[in-house]
Amino acid sequence: MKVLVCGGAGYIGSHMVRHLLASGHQPVVLDNLSTGHREAVGDAPLVQGDLMDRAALAGLFAGTRFDAVIHFCARSLVGESVEQPYAYYDNNVGGTLNLLQAMREAGVARLVFSSTAAVFGQPQAPLIDEQHATAPINPYGASKLMVERILADAHRAYGLRSVALRYFNAAGADPSGDIGESHQPETHLIPNVLRSALGQGAGLKVFGDDYATADGTCVRDYVHVNDLAAAHLQALGFMDAHEGAHVFNLGNGQGFTVLQVIEAARRVTGVEIPFERAPRRAGDPAVLVASSARAREALGWAPRYSDIGAIIETAWRWHRAPRY
């Protein structure tokens, strides 16, 4: 298939491009390079453009016949979304509407959408499945949930087939070490832990040590970025046989505390990792762990990386010698 990968120069998108190439598909990357990296795209064609540019989108679809679209483009910083909600709704919802309209005009009727566990808000159960109430507590999560609702409406009105994949905590890097996670600013725990191990960054902080967890720190479900990419490939195949707008949670089904992640990184790196204890951050749930039973059953998806040490080891290869 010829697949348009929107945001294919970013962290998860670049791993997706590599999986598509390895599977014999033809990815074309659309990215404005505001947070993505040209070097991460590899041999795939790159179109530098923005979902906010309707004319450019129309020209892209007029010039190339795509079989499907995988959509990663989004602003994704939770704190920033609270400070700049208009920008988040404009980009994440408005940009997606531009993409969907261009797809409809070009007759492209299959989309895999990068959603998020932030659609759930405060968890009401130890394992979060797709039936869990959606009550996002920040504009980022709300913007992703709005797109999920738009996709359901688009199926009813236009016959669009879609799969929305709700990631929990994406982590790790391709084992080759050629591509990895490179954000500015970096807000994710594992890369910040590894930066601390390398003596980089402003210093690692652990936010809150009085939660009702094994060691008082937050518990999160970490899913390897290559496992996420594999799920997107399986979602493309799923749409061959299934109409409708579908949602799946993607996680390992087990959680690790912040201190457990730091200890696992210490074992991987062989370095004592200093950190500072800080007060809780507003809105941080104590535990966020996914039930991915539906994805396992319907997509045939199963994560290859379940051990937190193995996940961190792949990230460590990248962080020791980043290419961009």
Residue 170 three-state SS: strand
What is the amino acid identity at position 273?
I
The whole-number pLDDT of residue 234 equals: 98
Geometric angle at alpha carbon 116, from 139 and 242, rounded to 5°: 125
Which of 23, 105, 30 shows the shortest CA–CA distance to 69? 30
d(CA 191, CA 218): 17
Residue 223: strand pairing partners? 170
Is the pLDDT assigned to residue 283 strictly greater than 80? Answer: no
Say if CB 261 and CB 208 are below 8 A apart.
no
Would you call 167 a catalytic residue per the annotation?
A: no
Which ranges constitute the DSSP H helices of 168-289? 189-197, 225-241, 258-269
| pLDDT-derived band at 37, boundaries 50, 70, 90 | very high
Is the pLDDT assigned to residue 184 strictly greater than 90? Answer: no
Domain 2-171+222-250 architecture:
3-Layer(aba) Sandwich (3.40)
Say if CB 68 and CB 232 are below 8 A apart.
no
The ranges assigned to domains in the chain are 2-171+222-250, 189-220+253-320
| pLDDT-derived band at 187, boundaries 50, 70, 90 | confident
The whole-number pLDDT of residue 237 equals: 96
Average pLDDT of every residue of the chain: 96
Sign of the torsion angle spanned by Cα atoms 223, 115, 31, 153: positive
pLDDT digits (tens, 9 = 90+) for 85-125: 999 999 999 999 999 999 999 999 999 999 999 999 999 99
Q: Which is the CATH superfamily of the domain at 189-220+253-320?
A: UDP-galactose 4-epimerase, domain 1 (3.90.25.10)
Residue 277: strand pairing partners? 206
What is the amino acid identity at position 201?
G
pLDDT digits (tens, 9 = 90+) for 157-173: 999 999 999 999 999 99
pLDDT digits (tens, 9 = 90+) for 230-260: 999 999 999 999 999 999 999 999 999 999 9
The whole-number pLDDT of residue 193 equals: 97
| Residue of 11, 88, 89, 140 marked active site | 140
Q: How many CB atoms lie within 10 A of CB 25?
A: 17
